[in-house]
Structure 1
Amino acid sequence: MSSPSSNVHFLLVPGSFSTPPPYNALVTALTQAGFSASVIPLLSANDGTHLPPATMEEDAASIRAAILSILDHPTSPRNVVVVPHSYGGFPASEACLGLTPSARAASGKTTSVIGLVYIGSFLPVEGECLRDIMSRSETFPPDLQIGNPGGYLPPIPAEFASVILNDVKDPVEAARLHATMTLHSSDSYNGKVGYAPWKEVKTVVVTPGEDLVIPVEMQEEMYERAKAATGGKVKKWVVEGAGHCAAWTRPEDFARATISVLQD
């Protein structure tokens, strides 16, 4: 008989400007815990040669295809837990429409998206887009709020690494991680989600306790909104002392938080 872990795959979804390699640390930690795991690249995050730049909807379609390839694998289908980071919360949420346990069962399917773990992530509701959220807060730089219609956002400057990776004390390591970042589609921030899967699927909100990119207060507000909407079903896990991208540097801590979604 297979173990419960053999029937679950964790699919990581990066944040904006982010490429898959830094997330491999969390993939490894989940694998060492006995689970199958992988990270999918965002179409919207690339070197600027993808033209026109991908939208949030295109990111969502790519993520959905990846989820379905796992759910409906011809020889080893698995349930999926989707693990978005930062901006990834928008396309990852949109991608889950029709993939919940009840929706899949109604179609005669035995696998489904059984959990979501939003790591330092936006937790969107229907009709919400990232640019709207940014426009309501002084936290986000004006160039991200205004955007570059039809183009790419400016690259994250090296001096901003101390904000993204504020918990990384080694400047050489911070520079190495910053170098993995790329350009990001401006128009992807305008995509409005049409579905909030956390209302139907087991969900854990993981907040990095020292996040300077998405302020902890903002993450708490989004969690409380979701908690109220679900009657307390959405759970919270705080990783103390962690910065926005600490899943790259503290994978064991974030693996424990991620796996907690499978617990009753």
Structure 2
Amino acid sequence: MASSTSSPIVVIVPGAFGTPDGFHKVVPFLNQAGIETHPGPYPSCNPSDPAEATCANDIASLRNNVLFPLLDQQQRDIVILAHSYGGVVGGAAAKGLDIPTRKAQGKTTAVVGLIYVAGNITLENEPLLEAVGGAYPPFIKVDQPSKGLALIAPAMEVLYNDCEASLAPELDKAMKPHALLAFESKPSAPAWADPGFDGRRAYVRTLEDCCNPSSLQDMWLEKSKVKWDVVDFKTGHMPFVSQPEALAAQVVEFINGFMAL
């Protein structure tokens, strides 16, 4: 399936506590390779009302405000690039948007692939908190800076352990409070479980990750019961900060694989 523009657009779905702006180091390398990107934010990051910031609202927001306009109005194929909690949101938002399903509806565009970077893999109705073992790790500071929100501390040690120490002020500033409800509420069924994404699921496993340890990533991949094309990066949780050029090259390789199917 090809749209009027030959290359799919990459929708960047960030992890919790961050925005698509956090990918600013990787975007130029993708652009150089002829890949356009589009932000895929969602409302539970730094929300106006944490009591409303459910996972379901994040999924609906990404689907209705980003994916459908790109697919149906701009007539673009999409690849979702999802980091950490973005895997929960992006995975569910892409449900029913695979090539066979869209083709059967007479549509000419689709989500042609899913790329997870240390992505959280949750089953239908499985909250992220459950998927990480039912308790918050000590670095998630609950009800900070106010009730219903959380922060990660120490951010440099947990998220940026392989990044230049001099970047600390800039990286700390990029971190936003996140609604706890997003992690505790149930997501809808994930798209990656569908046969329409066979051969179109890729996963960057971050081997030195202090936030989502690689053992947890392995558990999620196994639990999914579907095949992912897994590539290992010897990085911490944020390879788009510490290894942007290498990550961009890997994303391009994954996309070329999707397009060759």
Whether these two folds match at TM > 0.5 is yes
The C-alpha deviation readout for 1:1-55, integer Å capped at 9, x for no partner, is: x999733011010111112222122222211110111222221112x53454421
Q: Deviation of residue 199 (structure 1)?
A: 2.6
Partner of 1:38: 38
Q: Deviation of residue 122 (structure 1)?
A: 0.7
Give the gaps of 5 or more residues in structure 2: none
What is the alpha-carbon distance in structure 2 between the residues aligned to residue 37 and residue 83 of structure 1? 10
The C-alpha deviation readout for 1:71-100, integer Å capped at 9, x for no partner, is: 112xx4111011111111111111112211
Instruction: Look up the equivalent residue of 1:251 and give its one-letter code.
Output: P
* Structure 1 residue matching 2:123: 3-state secondary structure: coil
Instruction: Look up the equivalent residue of 2:177 and give its one-letter code.
Output: L
Partner of 1:86: 84
Give the gaps of 5 or more residues in structure 1: none
What is the alpha-carbon distance in structure 2 between the residues aligned to residue 257 and residue 193 of structure 1? 28
What is the alpha-carbon distance in structure 2 between the residues aligned to residue 218 and residue 29 of structure 1? 29
Contact kept, 8 Å, 1:79 with 1:112, in 2: the verdict is: yes
Q: 1:178 to 1:117 in 2, by over 3 A?
A: same
What is the alpha-carbon distance in structure 1 between the residues aligned to residue 4 and residue 247 of structure 2? 20
The C-alpha deviation readout for 1:137-176, integer Å capped at 9, x for no partner, is: 6x712866x779x94323333x3322210001x3221331
What is the alpha-carbon distance in structure 2 between the residues aligned to residue 72 and residue 58 of structure 1? 21
**1:186 matches 2:180:** yes
What is the alpha-carbon distance in structure 2 between the residues aligned to residue 78 and residue 151 of structure 1? 40
Q: 1:162 to 1:51 in 2, by over 3 A?
A: closer
What is the alpha-carbon distance in structure 2 between the residues aligned to residue 51 and residue 184 of structure 1? 8
What is the alpha-carbon distance in structure 2 between the residues aligned to residue 93 and residue 3 of structure 1? 22
Partner of 2:120: 122
Q: Deviation of residue 108 (structure 1)?
A: 0.6
Aligned residues: 250
Partner of 1:243: 236
Contact kept, 8 Å, 1:23 with 1:247, in 2: the verdict is: yes
Q: 1:114 to 1:147 in 2, by over 3 A?
A: farther
Partner of 1:256: 249
* Structure 2 residue matching 1:84: 3-state secondary structure: strand
Q: TM-score, normalised by structure 2?
A: 0.86
**1:61 matches 2:60:** yes
What is the alpha-carbon distance in structure 2 between the residues aligned to residue 31 and residue 257 of structure 1? 14
Contact kept, 8 Å, 1:93 with 1:193, in 2: the verdict is: no
Contact kept, 8 Å, 1:239 with 1:253, in 2: the verdict is: no
RMSD: 2.5
